[in-house]
Chains A and B, each alone.
Chain A
């Protein structure tokens, strides 16, 4: 992993208006590195949905992005409530988001399905009351 570039972000759970700043920064950096627009777009969408989830469902957390010549790996780690039923949460349209979040444009239950759709692999490691760790990989 000599060629790996690692980017780390602390995600605040306090401020919905700032959710997405980390994804925005990653997108900018990948573009500057000359990563293909297709891969940049996949990473941007998947990470943005994940970052929004951390803010609205888990009170923030940490995101680490590792870039190698072969792939981009995103690890989203939070100490939120955990996901009781992952299969259910993965279903398109399933959401526990309050109406207040829906009025802000999110909470359509499309986040997790989107993250799966735009990545080459996605793993969810979640424990009730402890938190959720989502690992997503996009091949370059």
Chain B
């Protein structure tokens, strides 16, 4: 699927990277612990998180994540969004909780990546 598909499935708003929605995405991970994401993420293109601070953007950057999705209605501030834009990162926001958001994307064909 593409980032745009993910956005539509979640009914998410685009907060950054409006012009980057046609990128292909295959797998995703969801966590509020950035160390776990750094430990276990292999080729994930989407990171779902309820954590809202600059380290989320940096973690995504280190892992070449394509799209960041803030769950539970979290609203990143302008500084965060500016950081994301500088890095060519798409940022989406959805009101769904973590479990539901992950489930919806999983059901639509995204996988969790290699163990």
Contact = CB atoms under 8 A, between A and B. Distances in A.
A17 B62 CA distance: 16
Interface stretch (B1-9, B31-39, B90-98, B100-108): B31-39
Interface string B19-58: 0000000000000111110110000000001010111101
Given A23-B58, A104-B53, 8 more contacts: A18-B54, A20-B54, A20-B58, A41-B62, A45-B63, A105-B51, A106-B55, A108-B36
A19 to B, nearest CB: 7
A106 B39 CA distance: 12
A48 B57 CA distance: 12
A23 B35 contact: no
A44 B39 CA distance: 12
A75 to B, nearest CB: 19
Interface residues of B, number: 19
20 contacts: A17-B55, A18-B54, A19-B55, A19-B58, A20-B54, A20-B62, A23-B62, A37-B64, A41-B62, A45-B63, A48-B59, A49-B35, A52-B55, A102-B33, A105-B49, A106-B34, A106-B35, A107-B35, A108-B39, A117-B39
Contacts of B49: 105
Query: DSSP majority for the B interface?
Result: helix
Contact of B38 (A16, A45, A102): A45
Interface of B: 32-36, 38-39, 49, 51, 53-56, 58-59, 61-64
A105 B33 contact: yes
A118 B4 CA distance: 32
Interface of A: 16-20, 23-24, 27, 37, 41, 44-45, 48-49, 52, 102, 104-111, 113-114, 117
Contacts of B32: 105
Contact of B55 (A105, A110, A113): A105
Contact of B53 (A41, A52, A105, A117): A105
A24 B89 CA distance: 14
